[in-house]
């Protein structure tokens, strides 16, 4: 009998200890923290009912007690969650949420400017992607490394040959950022990335004028966000053929490098054919940069003028070549060496024309740009992606509403209404959803790079807030940052180095090949993707919002990419600027 009692006591203790140990895994919340005056929610994924408390980590005192919500069913998984709403807690401090008798959440902060370090880290992530330079310990810490890919001896691929630049011509195309987990650089993906980052500065200049991120250019008289942008901008300028204005698609190896450090990757580098998409993306970026950099002409003399001339020349080339697709499969049938790296191929250029025309119109004031292409071919407002950038143009038109004239001014009410209506649709019933986030309204949100869906939804909501001044859009944008930082069906904070449970094994050559246990910080991974195109065997589920694995093999869910980091940086930076102004 004594043995039975002892066994029961041991079993009860172990079960309780296990529950307490596992509590962090089923209390899902933003693992960094909350603004004092913002909504604060945790999601409980186990079938637990009753009370919860919020405790001060410093004093151990209970500062808030309430009851979990009734269960709510996920439309994606069919599983049930409960909501712990602790919005009344507004005091600055470090806290835990506890389910009595069960266990505690990860610690989190409540304070103003709670995401400043995150915003800084997401921008610093681009510095860690720099090529053609050594990263020194002063700026890169334990992730310092030797220079890789100087790209001052880049070969014109036979498929890209012209009379003025025959096959085998050597050009110099240094700087730029590694595009993703690989070591190549692509104009199309740089396009949306740069457009998003330049827009972040244009929307919130006061915030970024003073934000330092500890890079070699810090303190030079220009904001660090722009200093980092310039590293990629100067590379992009080298990609324009000076003889005709067209823009090459990418600088690349013939094949992807292995998981080696950049300094060990020394195979030949090529520029490949020009294309309409690359040239228009380039034109849009250069036109936008041309109106931002005059203010910093002492730091970057002549850069604005160079960007403007390049933008106009690129536009002229695209007008003469409006349907020239970059088709890598076709190219590889005719020319050697065969190129097997990312194609970023696109065949519909209407969105690129809309974006480039918008940027050129706003920068120059010339209405012929605006009228050159149908600006509203339909009523859709598709979230920005590398192959659909029209919303970047619409955001610019909205940003400069007071400068619009003629047709653009006449069209503006329709544009404003469509952005706000799209935001309304995104936020329908958000308070009733299983995770109370805008992200995850349907399984369709979970695609390759789903975290960029979440962050681009957040940007659209912020644009709607700026247009309407309706606070609900700002608060709903914040739910998607909560999603990215842990309030999701995986329990991960998806930004390396920011949060308690973060990706440790991203599909990222730099992080895998160095001798540092921690991955390069400030990089957002792709996120849940039920397509599982990489064939990794470690996915825990095919349920769309759970289909994520923290494994190097998972390029479909765990790769990083500059076009995902940019909207994440925008969302964190914009929320900091708007909640703390």
The residues that are catalytic are 182, 507, 550, 559
Rounded to 5°, the CA angle 192-195-198 comes to 150
DSSP category for residue 543: S
DSSP category for residue 404: -
Determine the Cα–Cα distance for residues 21 and 23; give it in Å rounded to an integer.
6
CA distances from 294 to 288, 311, 363 (A): 11, 15, 12
Range 523-547 burial, b when 16+ CB lie within 10 A, else e: bbbbbbbbebebebeebeeebbbbb
Kindly report the three-state secondary structure assignment for every residue of 271-312: ECCECHHHHHHHHHHHHHHHHHHHHHCCCCCCHHHHHHHHHH
Residue 279 CB coordination number (10 Å)? 32
Check residue 46 and give left, alpha or beta (phi > 0: left; psi -120 to 50: alpha).
Answer: beta
Asked if 184 and 342 touch (Cβ cutoff 8 Å), the reply is yes
Q: Which two tokens stand for residue 100?
A: 């009595």
* Residue 425: cis peptide before it, omega within 30 degrees of 0: no
Tell me the helix, strand and coil percentages in the chain, rounded to 5. 45, 10, 45
Determine the Cα–Cα distance for residues 122 and 536; give it in Å rounded to an integer.
27
Q: Which residues contact 438 (CB under 8 A, 6 or more apart)?
A: 426, 427, 430, 454, 457, 458, 461, 476, 477, 479, 480, 483
Q: Which two tokens stand for residue 218?
A: 């810090």
């Amino acid at each position: 009998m004594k043995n039975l009692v002892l066994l029961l006591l041991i079993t009860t203790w172990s079960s309780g200890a296990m529950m307490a140990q596992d509590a962090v895994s089923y209390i899902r919340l933003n693992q960094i923290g909350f603004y004092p005056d913002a909504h604060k929610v945790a999601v409980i994924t186990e079938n637990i009912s009753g009370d919860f408390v919020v405790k001060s980590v410093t004093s151990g005192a209970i500062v808030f007690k309430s009851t979990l919500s009734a269960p709510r069913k996920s439309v994606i998984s069919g599983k049930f969650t409960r909501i712990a709403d602790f919005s009344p807690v507004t005091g600055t401090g470090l806290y835990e949420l506890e389910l009595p008798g069960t266990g505690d959440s990860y610690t989190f902060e409540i304070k103003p400017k709670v995401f400043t370090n995150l915003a800084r880290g997401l921008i610093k992530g681009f510095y860690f992607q720099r090529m053609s330079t050594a990263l020194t310990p002063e700026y890169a810490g334990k992730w310092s490394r030797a220079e890789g890919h100087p790209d001052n001896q880049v070969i014109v691929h036979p498929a890209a040959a012209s009379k003025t630049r025959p096959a085998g011509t050597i050009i110099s195309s240094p700087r730029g950022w590694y595009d993703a987990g690989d070591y190549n650089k692509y104009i199309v993906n740089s396009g949306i990335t740069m457009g998003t980052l330049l827009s972040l500065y244009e929307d919130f200049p006061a915030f970024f004028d003073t934000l330092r991120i500890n890079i070699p250019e810090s303190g030079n008289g220009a904001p660090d966000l722009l200093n980092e942008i310039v590293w990629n901008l100067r590379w992009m300028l080298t990609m324009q053929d000076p003889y005709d204005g067209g823009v090459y698609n990418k600088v690349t190896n013939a094949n992807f490098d292995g998981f080696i450090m950049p300094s060990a990757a020394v195979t030949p580098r090529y520029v490949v054919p020009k294309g309409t998409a690359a040239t228009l993306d380039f034109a849009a970026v250069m036109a936008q940069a041309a109106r931002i950099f005059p203010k910093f002409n002492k730091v970057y003399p002549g850069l604005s003028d160079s960007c403007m001339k390049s933008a106009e020349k690129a536009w002229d080339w695209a007008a003469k070549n409006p349907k020239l697709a970059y088709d890598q499969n076709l190219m590889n049938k005719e020319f050697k060496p065969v190129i097997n790296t990312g194609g970023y191929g696109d065949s519909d250029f209407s969105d690129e024309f809309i974006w480039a025309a918008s940027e050129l119109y706003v920068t120059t004031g010339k209405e012929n740009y605006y009228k050159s292409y149908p600006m509203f071919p339909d009523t859709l407002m598709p979230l920005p992606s590398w192959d659909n950038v029209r919303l970047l143009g619409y955001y610019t038109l909205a940003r400069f509403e007071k400068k619009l004239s003629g047709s653009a001014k006449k069209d503006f009410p329709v544009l404003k209404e469509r952005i706000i209506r799209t935001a309304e649709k995104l936020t329908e019933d958000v308070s009733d959803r299983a995770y109370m986030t805008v992200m995850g309204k349907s399984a369709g949100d979970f695609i390759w790079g789903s975290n960029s869906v979440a962050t681009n939804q957040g940007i659209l909501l912020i644009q709607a807030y700026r247009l309407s001044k309706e606070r609900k859009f700002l608060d709903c944008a914040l739910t998607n940052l909560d999603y990215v930082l842990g309030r999701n069906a995986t329990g991960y904070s998806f930004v390396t180095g920011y949060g308690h449970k973060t990706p440790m094994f991203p599909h990222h050559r730099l992080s895998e090949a160095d001798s540092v246990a921690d991955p390069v910080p400030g990089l957002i991974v792709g996120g849940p993707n039920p397509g599982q195109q990489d064939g990794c065997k470690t996915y825990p589920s095919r349920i769309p919002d759970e289909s994520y694995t923290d494994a190097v093999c998972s390029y479909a869910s765990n790769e990083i990419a500059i076009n995902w980091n940019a909207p994440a940086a925008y969302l964190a930076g914009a929320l900091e600027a708007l909640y703390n102004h």
